Chain A
Amino acid sequence: MVTVKINGKEITVEDNTLILDAARDAGYEIPTFCYQADLMGIGSCRMCLVEIEGQKKLQPSCVTPVLHGMSINTDSGTVQTARAGVLEFLLANHAMDCPVCDKGGECELQDMVHKHGPHKGRHAEPKFKFHDKDYVLSPVIIKNSNRCVQCMKCVRVCREVVGQNVLGALGRGDHQEPTSFFRAFMNCEMDGNCIEVCPVGCFMRLPYRYKSRPWDLKSSDTICPYCATGCRMVIEERAGTLMRAKAQLGVGLNSETLCARGRFGQDFVNNPERINQPLVRRYGKLEPVTWEEAISHIKENLTALDGDKIGGIASPRLTNEELYLFQKLMREVLGSPNIDSSSRFSPDAVEGFVAATGMGEGGVSVYDCMEADTVLIIGTHLSDENPVIDYIVRRISASRRMNVIIASPRAMKLDSSANIVLRHNVASENAVLTSLVIGLNEGKLADTLKGMHEAQLDANLKASGVSADLISTVVNRLAASSSIAIIAGTDFLRYPEGISGLGLLKDLLKSRGKKVTVMPVLDRANQRGAWEMGVHPGFGPGYSETRKGLGTEGMLDAAMKGELEALYVVGSDVASMYPGDDFARTALSKVGFLIVQDMFMTETARQAHVVLPGAAHAEKDGTYTNQEGRAQVIKKLLTAPGRAKQDINIIRAIGESFDRSFGPKHFALVLDEIRKEVPSYADVSLSFNNKRNTDNKLDNRGALVKAAAAPAVKVKSFNPASVETSGARFILTTGNHLFHSGRSSMKSETLLGLLKGAVVEISEEDAASLGLKSGEKVRVKGANFEAQMTLLTKKGTKSGVAFIAENFDDAPVNRYFRRGGGIPRVDIIKTI
């Protein structure tokens, strides 16, 4: 610790604290352009100059650490003159076109000049210009370099955080232009983090161009509804239209970053295809009715039904309050234990995964994981599925240099931050993890067991396709680490065999006295919340013991046999997501009474007897629980279109039609009830939304849910996934595309502008051996489905693996799968 004086005030701070941070701690703001806590310091803009007693020259406080006994002045006359001088130079070539600049009103340069002067410039020379017209860098980015203050935040965020590295600082001095290679259109992550960090109007959002002024926008501080990373964002509207979403420096675990989905995908809310009135099927046609008619029609059809013959499926994008009320309606009012929140994952797999990742043990912060000696990432294509977690791992591993081990069949951007990459066969997570367990046990066994062990190891190595050398390197790193974080993704739910390996490895490492943290990574905003609220056939709220019911698969089976008399689907498109071509649709057509509540006319909704128009996240209040187990607040900004209603009110209206006292009547009261009924949520508070973090830790630990009382889940063993035996060349895997999340993102105009048509991704080598090139049109042919799409090649992906994301309407990947069948194989053929 060192003690320094700042503006006469004595303060004691950690060694190596930057003067800037020390001053902020002491309560003095220092203006900056190029400084950003998450980025490497470059000390280039000189806005942050301070005077240090005894030193002749002013020093940049953002790169100068405090020394014991320093006396610093952050606001002396010299400092003020210097600041005004820096600004005068920045304005020397500045375009000064504030009236037509999108940044006007929230521009750091405007604010800075307003505050620190000079209010008159002395430069009379003609201004230097990089270019005349703004130029487009991507479907979401437009650039004007004439406004640049050369802080290089754009270049640094793209390299250090996003890892895409497609921006460079071209030229030098005042002629230095941060831009793409030859100012050409970029093929990048499209996350727009360069826009967010730019203090001025150089990098700008194309979809928002000339649409509004910041002071005309109303905003609300909420959570992204796409993946379960749970990024904090501010969404803003003007005259009822959602205009943009942005992140906030130092707020939320994501700080100033978002991915493309989060930053550009919120406009689905404005989609004119939103359903805006309740519909009831009459003589084969869906016709508009009033809410009273719809609800009484539902009541009529549900009354007198045996609860066991009713089912309910609710989307993992609903709020905790909605999901809690949904299961309460199903269980307590309708008497049905048949509840699920997924059409993709089996209830057994979910239980095993919940147990193996220890969700019942309470929340785990991603920042805790980043403090481990070794981080093992397995069962997820992290870079595409949870991009902001990819950013966090990249940024922190660059300075902490912990071991990062990635196990995945597909190459990903984060591979470049990994020390070891295990490119294993599809669905062989179990073999990888078991090999590690065997390796860790080596040398600790009686001789008699050794032979058996070796045979077992060989079998597992063969199954995973990973070399013995790589496994033993990983084993050594694990053995040498005293803390290990395992980040486990949704492939464990697709191929549940890996769950037992995950459980084994976790237990073994723990038994060796190591600190083990397991963090699940999930692809739907409130998937964890859905489980914790008990929207699952195997456990109730808080993973409590409950009467077992049917999951989606069981319900569809029952429907097929004509035994499901009613099904209430909220926000789930079962027909589009459930594996198998026609099974779900046929099954749904046999349901006696199908109620679908959604924002859009989905495949599933088209088959319904009653369609109820629900609301988007931007139209709701409530809480989401992200994958870490962080309960965060979402806040209403807009009113649902037409007669559409918040889902919580629709669920309650149905409940009330049976029992006047069904409730609680307000989301906050529902949360109160959750706090009572679910002990792990006892401390969840609406005030979590969400203080600005002053310490740059971005880690609001109060929001992590506590351990459940007695979680009714067990790690189970599952059969190995079988692979279809057809002779086709590729094994098909799926997941989310970087620009999409389930089917809801397909309603975002901007995201569709980034990618609309289906793509299939294979390795470069496979493409070359088939004589195919990236970008070509191909037919992907499976046993029961084929479709045309665009080929994309990826360097480093395992040979024989084809990936088609689950998001595309024009090539629904679920149709390649067969209900109860193995992992499909496909052939890829050039279209002529």
Chain B
Amino acid sequence: MLSEQAKQEILASLKKYHDKRSAVMDAVRIAQKENGGHVVKRDMEEIAEILEMQPVEVNAAAAFYTMYRIDKPVGRHHIQVCRNISCSLMGAEHIIKHLERSLGIKTGETTTDHRITLSTVECLGSCGTAPMMQVNDEYYENLTEAKIDELLKKMA
């Protein structure tokens, strides 16, 4: 269930667009944030109602982007490693392997203590500082194994 506040936020975002439906991206982001990192079926139904769309259209919009997670809860820290061209050229594959090894999970999984979820995403628009990743809302760039070890230590 969306909170009253989330609904207000969604309504406010409508002002940015000519067409109600265009606010679907904002709406899913707001819902996902409120829900701790992933959206659920019920939220998408509510969004559909607010934006006068079909639930499946909200679902389709959300499912297109890696930044939305549908029905898959994430840990407190959601690590999203870019694996698009620039990052791949700069060694994203190593970064991913290193993370998998250090965390003892595979890409797409969450540690048993619900601390960290690891996923891979498409280009995050930070190619100049590749390889890079995003943890929750923060970017971490020019990654090395050492940098990652440092970071992981800080993640409670």
Which positions in A face B, CB cutoff 8 Å?
A: 165-172, 180-182
Instruction: Answer yes or no: B64 CB below 8 A from chain A CBs.
Output: yes
Known contacts: A165-B54, A166-B54, A168-B54. The answer to whether A182 contacts B60 by CB under 8 A is no
Bound-state CA distance A555–B44 (Å) is 59
Known: A172-B64, A180-B56, A181-B55. 8 other contacts (CB 8 A): A165-B54, A165-B56, A168-B54, A170-B56, A170-B63, A171-B63, A181-B56, A181-B59
Instruction: Answer yes or no: B41 CB below 8 A from chain A CBs.
Output: yes
Instruction: Answer yes or no: B145 CB below 8 A from chain A CBs.
Output: no
Bound-state CA distance A355–B44 (Å) is 52
**Across the interface, which residues of A come within 8 angstroms of B63, CB to CB?**
168, 170-172
- Determine how close the nearest CB of chain B comes to the CB of A164; give it in whole angstroms: 8
Name the residue of chain B whose CB is nearest to the CB of A186: B56
Bound-state CA distance A166–B59 (Å) is 11
Contact with A along B55-99 (1 / 0, CB 8 A): 111011001100000000000000000000000000000000000
Bound-state CA distance A180–B59 (Å) is 9
Asked if A181 contacts B64 (CB within 8 A), the reply is no
State how many residues of chain B have any CB contact under 8 Å with chain A. 10
Bound-state CA distance A172–B66 (Å) is 10
Closest 5 pairs between A and B when the two form their complex, measured CB to CB: A168-B60, A168-B56, A181-B56, A170-B63, A181-B55
17 pairs of residues in contact across A and B, judged by CB atoms under 8 Å: A165-B57, A166-B54, A166-B56, A168-B54, A168-B56, A168-B57, A168-B60, A170-B56, A170-B60, A172-B63, A172-B64, A180-B56, A181-B44, A181-B55, A181-B56, A182-B41, A182-B59
Bound-state CA distance A664–B156 (Å) is 93
- Determine how close the nearest CB of chain A comes to the CB of B150; give it in whole angstroms: 34
Bound-state CA distance A182–B59 (Å) is 8
Name the residue of chain B whose CB is nearest to the CB of A167: B56
Bound-state CA distance A628–B55 (Å) is 38
**Across the interface, which residues of B come within 8 angstroms of A168, CB to CB?**
54, 56-57, 59-60, 63
**Across the interface, which residues of B come within 8 angstroms of A180, CB to CB?**
56
Bound-state CA distance A171–B61 (Å) is 9
Which positions in B face A, CB cutoff 8 Å?
A: 41, 44, 54-57, 59-60, 63-64
Asked if A170 contacts B57 (CB within 8 A), the reply is no
Bound-state CA distance A181–B63 (Å) is 11
- Determine how close the nearest CB of chain B comes to the CB of A320; give it in whole angstroms: 43
Bound-state CA distance A166–B48 (Å) is 12
- Determine how close the nearest CB of chain B comes to the CB of A267; give it in whole angstroms: 30
**Across the interface, which residues of A come within 8 angstroms of B44, CB to CB?**
181
Name the residue of chain B whose CB is nearest to the CB of A175: B63
**Across the interface, which residues of B come within 8 angstroms of A165, CB to CB?**
54, 56-57
Bound-state CA distance A170–B62 (Å) is 8
**Across the interface, which residues of A come within 8 angstroms of B59, CB to CB?**
168, 170, 181-182
**Across the interface, which residues of A come within 8 angstroms of B41, CB to CB?**
181-182
**Across the interface, which residues of B come within 8 angstroms of A166, CB to CB?**
54, 56
**Across the interface, which residues of A come within 8 angstroms of B54, CB to CB?**
165-166, 168, 181
Bound-state CA distance A181–B58 (Å) is 9
- Determine how close the nearest CB of chain B comes to the CB of A814; give it in whole angstroms: 37
**Across the interface, which residues of B come within 8 angstroms of A170, CB to CB?**
56, 59-60, 63
- Determine how close the nearest CB of chain A comes to the CB of B53; give it in whole angstroms: 8
- Determine how close the nearest CB of chain B comes to the CB of A165; give it in whole angstroms: 5
**Across the interface, which residues of B come within 8 angstroms of A171, CB to CB?**
63-64
Q: Output the residue of B54, B56, B63 with the most chain A CB within 10 A.
A: B56
Bound-state CA distance A170–B57 (Å) is 9
**Across the interface, which residues of B come within 8 angstroms of A167, CB to CB?**
56
Bound-state CA distance A180–B56 (Å) is 6
- Determine how close the nearest CB of chain A comes to the CB of B39; give it in whole angstroms: 12
**Across the interface, which residues of A come within 8 angstroms of B56, CB to CB?**
165-168, 170, 180-181
**Across the interface, which residues of B come within 8 angstroms of A169, CB to CB?**
60
Name the residue of chain B whose CB is nearest to the CB of A165: B54
Name the residue of chain B whose CB is nearest to the CB of A164: B54
Bound-state CA distance A181–B41 (Å) is 9
- Determine how close the nearest CB of chain B comes to the CB of A179; give it in whole angstroms: 8
- Determine how close the nearest CB of chain A comes to the CB of B27; give it in whole angstroms: 16
Bound-state CA distance A182–B64 (Å) is 15
**Across the interface, which residues of A come within 8 angstroms of B60, CB to CB?**
168-170
Bound-state CA distance A531–B63 (Å) is 55
- Determine how close the nearest CB of chain B comes to the CB of A357; give it in whole angstroms: 36
- Determine how close the nearest CB of chain A comes to the CB of B84; give it in whole angstroms: 13
Name the residue of chain A whose CB is nearest to the CB of B63: A170
Bound-state CA distance A181–B60 (Å) is 9
Bound-state CA distance A171–B68 (Å) is 11
Name the residue of chain A whose CB is nearest to the CB of B55: A181
Bound-state CA distance A172–B63 (Å) is 7
- Determine how close the nearest CB of chain B comes to the CB of A182; give it in whole angstroms: 6
Bound-state CA distance A170–B44 (Å) is 13
Bound-state CA distance A639–B85 (Å) is 66
- Determine how close the nearest CB of chain A comes to the CB of B115; give it in whole angstroms: 28
- Determine how close the nearest CB of chain B comes to the CB of A73; give it in whole angstroms: 33
- Determine how close the nearest CB of chain B comes to the CB of A160; give it in whole angstroms: 13
Bound-state CA distance A182–B54 (Å) is 12
Bound-state CA distance A172–B60 (Å) is 9
Name the residue of chain A whose CB is nearest to the CB of B60: A168
Bound-state CA distance A12–B138 (Å) is 59
Bound-state CA distance A167–B60 (Å) is 9
Name the residue of chain B whose CB is nearest to the CB of A178: B60
**Across the interface, which residues of B come within 8 angstroms of A172, CB to CB?**
63-64
- Determine how close the nearest CB of chain B comes to the CB of A603; give it in whole angstroms: 42
- Determine how close the nearest CB of chain B comes to the CB of A42; give it in whole angstroms: 14
Bound-state CA distance A165–B53 (Å) is 9
- Determine how close the nearest CB of chain B comes to the CB of A300; give it in whole angstroms: 64
